[in-house]
Every structure is written in structure tokens, then in C-alpha cells.
Amino acid sequence: QIQKCNRNQFLAKSSIIMVDSTNAVLEKSKLCNCFRMSLSLRLWFARVLVLTQLIHGAFCWGKEGHYAVCKIAESYFEEETVAAVKKLLPESAEGDLASVCSWPDE
């Protein structure tokens, strides 16, 4: 039930607020309905920003974590997938996907 307003509706409603002070409360409430979603989104982003500031360090997996995730992923590969992945791997990997999964950590 969020009412979307385009720029022209906003300008029309805001000009009514300035011209007619007797209907200002009514028009102001209509205007606020147009921006209720953006206000709630702003509050949500503000909360997320505050919460992220409370985290003191990055909880990274590191080389060992990426290696483990690759090994787990490889266990779910079908034979066709294994063959396709081996074609894409560099020769230095010697057919082992997990050996190159830690490149972001290096």
C-alpha cells in the first residue's frame, strides 16, 4: 500500500501546501505517504550502518577456509562438471580446483 509519487505530483502537492494553508495538514499527510517507504529504507540503512560499525574485525575464512569450501563443492560435482572444471583450470592447478580457490587470499 505504498503510494508512489513522481516529481510532478510532488511539486503539485508541495505547491498546494504553500498556497493554501487551511488544507496544509491534509496535503502534507498525502505528501508524506509518498515518501514513507524511502524514510523506512533510510532508517533501515542507518541501522545497518550503525551495526556494521560495531564489528571490530573482518571475519574472513582465509586460505584454509576457501580450500575446505572448494573440497566440499567438488564432492557435489557430477562427472561432466568435473571434466568441464578441469578444462578451465590452469596447468599449475594439476586438476585440483581447491588448489586455486584461495587466490583471493594471496
The larger pLDDT score, comparing residue 6 to residue 97, is at 97
pTM of the model: 0.42
Per-position DSSP letters for 8-63, written without gaps between them: HHHHHHHHHHHH-STTHHHHHHHHHHHTHHHHHHHHHHHHHHHHHHH--S----HH
Q: Among 98, 93, 92, which residue's Cα sits nearest to residue 68? A: 98
Q: How confident is residue 84, by pLDDT bands cut at 50, 70 and 90?
A: very high
pLDDT surpasses 90 at 5: no
CA end-to-end span of the chain, whole Å? 49
29-80 confidence digits (pLDDT tens): 455 555 555 777 888 888 888 888 777 665 667 888 888 888 999 999 999 9
Distances (CA, A) of 13 to 2, 7, 8, 18, 86: 17, 10, 8, 9, 62
Torsion angle in degrees (nearest 10) through CA of 69, 71, 72, 76: 130
